[in-house]
């Protein structure tokens, strides 16, 4: 399963793509987007935000992202009818390496998953403050900042917006459901969120 390490590698990979390393490739399955890079470039990107991983760790993380499955559920409302559709895909659609393992100069190509490709194609993918987000030590701080960029992308300056603590904790994955929260767990969640808010201020 992807861990904190894989999250860092994925963010750095997308950052490289935003710097012009992204290419559009046409094939039998249609047009796909991929990021072309070397392991050293990805390692340097991580170092720029004080995250140090060896070349072997980076390669292992990329393979985990290729093998890990992402599940998304979409809610559709049509009049009085409500339906849900679910799709599954890998974090990275596929990854290819050009040379021997352990070499930092190995050239790599990582194909993005369908959702990311659609966002790029439809010009709906939004960049974010990579340096600031990745400098946070807490994974909750990094996750929540990115989540706020996505959910409140049309937020107006000076207005107040709210989110539910328990619901956000479920989305983050720290708890599985509202029934999973007893008094001591709720206290811990509040403490973690308070620390995260201090990071964001």
Print the SS3 string covering 77-95.
EECCEEEEEEEEEECEEEE
Nearest to 92 by CA among 145, 43, 37: 37
Residue 43 confidence (pLDDT): 92
Q: Domain locations in the chain? A: 1-127, 136-201
Residue 130 confidence (pLDDT): 58
Reported as a single tens digit per residue, the pLDDT across 111-170 is: 888 877 766 665 445 555 656 776 788 888 888 887 887 777 677 778 888 888 888 888
How far is it, in rounded angstroms, from Cα 45 to Cα 187? 36
Reported as a single tens digit per residue, the pLDDT across 82-111 is: 887 777 888 888 899 887 665 778 889 998
Say which residue, 185 or 70, is predicted with more confidence: 185
How far is it, in rounded angstroms, from Cα 63 to Cα 82? 37
Region at 33 (left for phi over 0; alpha for psi -120 to 50; beta for the rest):
beta
3-state DSSP helix/strand/coil % of the chain, to nearest 5? 45, 25, 30
Confidence of residue 12 (pLDDT cuts 50, 70, 90): confident
CB of 94 closer than 8 Å to CB of 39: no
Residue 63 confidence (pLDDT): 92
Reported as a single tens digit per residue, the pLDDT across 21-48 is: 888 888 777 778 888 999 999 999 888 8
Q: Note the pTM of the prediction, 2 decimals.
A: 0.61
Half-sphere exposure in the Cβ direction for 148 (13 Å, CA): 18
Region at 20 (left for phi over 0; alpha for psi -120 to 50; beta for the rest):
left
Residue 64 has pLDDT above 80, yes or no: yes
Residue 162 confidence (pLDDT): 83
Nearest to 164 by CA among 8, 27, 181: 181
Residue 123 confidence (pLDDT): 47
Segment 181-189 mean pLDDT: 87
**DSSP state letters, 10-75:** HHHHHHHIIIIIEEEEEETTEEEEEEEEEHHHHHHHHHTTT----HHHHHHHHHHHHHSEEEEEEE
Residue 98 confidence (pLDDT): 85
| Residue 100 exposed, middle or buried by CB count within 10 Å (0-12, 13-18, 19+) | exposed
């Amino acid at each position: 399963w992807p861990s904190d390490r894989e999250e860092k590698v994925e963010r750095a990979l997308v950052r490289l793509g935003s710097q012009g390393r992204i290419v559009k490739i046409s094939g039998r399955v249609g047009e796909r987007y991929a990021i072309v890079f070397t392991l050293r470039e990805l390692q340097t990107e991580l170092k720029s935000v004080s995250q140090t991983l060896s070349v072997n760790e980076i390669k292992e993380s990329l393979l985990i992202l290729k093998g890990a499955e992402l599940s998304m559920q979409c809610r559709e409302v049509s009049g009085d009818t409500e339906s849900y559709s679910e799709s599954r895909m890998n974090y990275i659609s596929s990854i290819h390496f050009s040379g021997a393992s352990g070499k930092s100069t190995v050239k790599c190509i990582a194909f993005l998953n369908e959702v990311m490709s659609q966002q790029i194609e439809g010009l709906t993918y939004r960049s974010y403050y990579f340096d600031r987000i990745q400098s946070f030590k807490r994974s909750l701080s990094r996750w929540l900042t990115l989540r706020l960029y996505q959910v409140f992308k049309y937020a107006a300056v000076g207005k107040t917006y709210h989110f539910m603590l328990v619901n956000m904790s479920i989305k983050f994955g720290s708890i599985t459901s509202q029934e999973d929260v007893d008094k001591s767990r709720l206290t811990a969640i509040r403490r973690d969120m308070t620390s995260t808010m201090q990071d964001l201020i």
